[in-house]
Amino acid sequence: MATNNPFKPPEIPIKQPDREDSGAVVLERRTQRVKPPQMYQVVMINDDYTPMEFVVVVIQEFFGKDLESATRIMLKIHLDGKAVCGVYSRDVAVTKVDQVLEAAHKAGHPLKCVCEPVEI
């Protein structure tokens, strides 16, 4: 049978602050100005070999566009040589580019897609 009392740590006296203590340091909180992250646009580049239907499907699948928006973007790519498919943070933009290039490669199409920083 245990008759010993459990270990109790020694009490540390707490010094009460003096009202006349002139050596006290007061820290002032400064608000930090944090810039929003640099945004990147995912740009598809026209080629003469990738079917327009495939480009529309890729835009719908990876960029969440409806059929009308995807078709409009595809036509801009076809007529202007390139078009922005979406604007994202760097990591998301790089992932989108990788997904598009992998899908194009698996389908045997030379579709090109890059990400570029957005100019402010």
* pLDDT tens digits, 6-29: 667 667 666 665 556 566 777 888
Provide the domain count of the chain.
Answer: 1
Domain ranges, residue 79: 39-117
Question: Is residue 30 one of the residues assigned to a domain?
Answer: no
Question: Is residue 16 one of the residues assigned to a domain?
Answer: no
Single-letter residue type at 105: H
CATH number for the domain including 64? 3.30.1390.10
Question: Looking up tokens 């992932």, which residue turns up?
Answer: 95
Question: Is residue 106 one of the residues assigned to a domain?
Answer: yes
Question: Is residue 61 one of the residues assigned to a domain?
Answer: yes
Q: Is the pTM of this model over 0.85?
A: no
Q: What is the pLDDT of residues 16-74, one digit of tens each?
A: 655 565 667 778 888 888 888 999 999 999 999 999 999 999 999 999 999 999 999 99
Question: Is residue 66 one of the residues assigned to a domain?
Answer: yes
What does the DSSP 8-state code read for residue 20? T
Cα–Cα dist 88/62, whole Å: 12
